[in-house]
Amino acid sequence: MKHSLKTGISFGLTSGIITTLGLMVGLNSGTHSKLVVIGGIFTIAIADALSDALGIHVSEESENKHTPAEIWESTIYTFLAKFVFALSFVIPLLFFQLSTAVIVSAIWGLSLLGIFSIYIAKDQKTKTWKVVAEHLAIALIVILITHYVGEWIGVMFG
């Protein structure tokens, strides 16, 4: 797989899953509003995808070892991956009540992250369970923290 494609997809997928799940869980805990959660997802899909794409662009430029075409490919692939994976979390919200949709989204996101982690481990020829456990543990920590922060904000400002 091309470096630019691998960079864009790996960063966009991971960031799209963890950021969107954290946002969904936090907004659900604080507001219990489907409209607010959907609005947050669209905001992440646009603003954060553009921000992450620029971050990858600058990071790749700073390495000073990629062609301008490779840098732009990484930028575009990062944006597209983050945008698509973030927006995929709207689908459960269209079919389920908010609390169920958040659970379905967590299962969807953690499954995608687990599958991608298996791919990374096999590509690096490392122990699959360690890579999967590390990535899923980080995602679960984000989910737990954003849940409690959302609850706290709901109590303090709701």
The per-residue pLDDT for range 82-119, each reduced to its tens digit, is: 999 999 999 999 999 999 999 999 999 999 999 999 99
Question: Which candidate, 87, 85, 145, places its Cα nearest to that of 113?
Answer: 85
- What are the C-alpha distances in Å from 75 to residues 48, 62, 111, 139? 13, 13, 25, 24
C-alpha 153/C-alpha 20 separation (Å) is 18
- What are the C-alpha distances in Å from 74 to residues 15, 62, 103, 108? 14, 13, 31, 25
Q: Tell me the per-residue pLDDT of 109-125, one tens digit each, with 9 for 90 and over.
A: 999 999 999 999 999 99
Mean pLDDT for the stretch of residues 60-67: 92
Question: Which candidate, 94, 87, 111, places its Cα nearest to that of 20?
Answer: 87
* Cα angle for residues 125, 117, 55 (degrees, 5° grid): 110
| Total-model pTM | 0.92
Residues in CB range of 11: below 8 A, 6 or more apart: 52, 56, 78, 81, 82
Mean pLDDT for the stretch of residues 66-80: 94
